[in-house]
Amino acid sequence: MDEVSSRALEARNDESVLEAFIQENKGFILSAASRTMKRYVTDSDDEWSVALIAFDEAVKSYEESKGDFKVFAGMVIKRRLIDYIRSESRHNAEISVEPYAMDGDTGDGEEVSGLQLEVRSKTAEMADNAGTSGSIRDEIAHLSLKLKEYGISFFELEEASPRAEKTKNACAVAVRTLIDDADLKAAMIKKKALPMKELSKNSGVDRKTLERHRKYLIAVALILIEDLPHMAEYVGYIKEKEG
- Comparing 101 with 74, the larger pLDDT belongs to 74
What local confidence, expressed as pLDDT, does residue 73 receive?
93
Tens of pLDDT along 138-195? 778 888 888 888 888 776 776 778 878 888 889 999 999 999 999 999 999 999 999 9
Provide DSSP, 21-42: HHHHTHHHHHHHHHHHHTS---
Q: What CA–CA distance (Å, rounded) separates 99 from 172?
A: 26
What local confidence, expressed as pLDDT, does residue 176 receive?
92
Q: What is this structure's pTM?
A: 0.51
Domain 3-97, second-level architecture: Orthogonal Bundle (1.10)
Secondary structure of residue 236 in the 3-state scheme: helix
Tens of pLDDT along 43-79? 888 889 999 999 999 999 999 888 999 999 999 999 9
CA distances from 132 to 56, 138, 174, 202, 239 (A): 23, 10, 30, 37, 23
What local confidence, expressed as pLDDT, does residue 90 receive?
59
Domain boundaries, the chain: 3-97, 159-241
Secondary structure of residue 61 in the 3-state scheme: helix
What local confidence, expressed as pLDDT, does residue 135 receive?
65
* Largest Cα span, the chain: 56
Tens of pLDDT along 116-137? 444 444 444 444 443 444 467 7
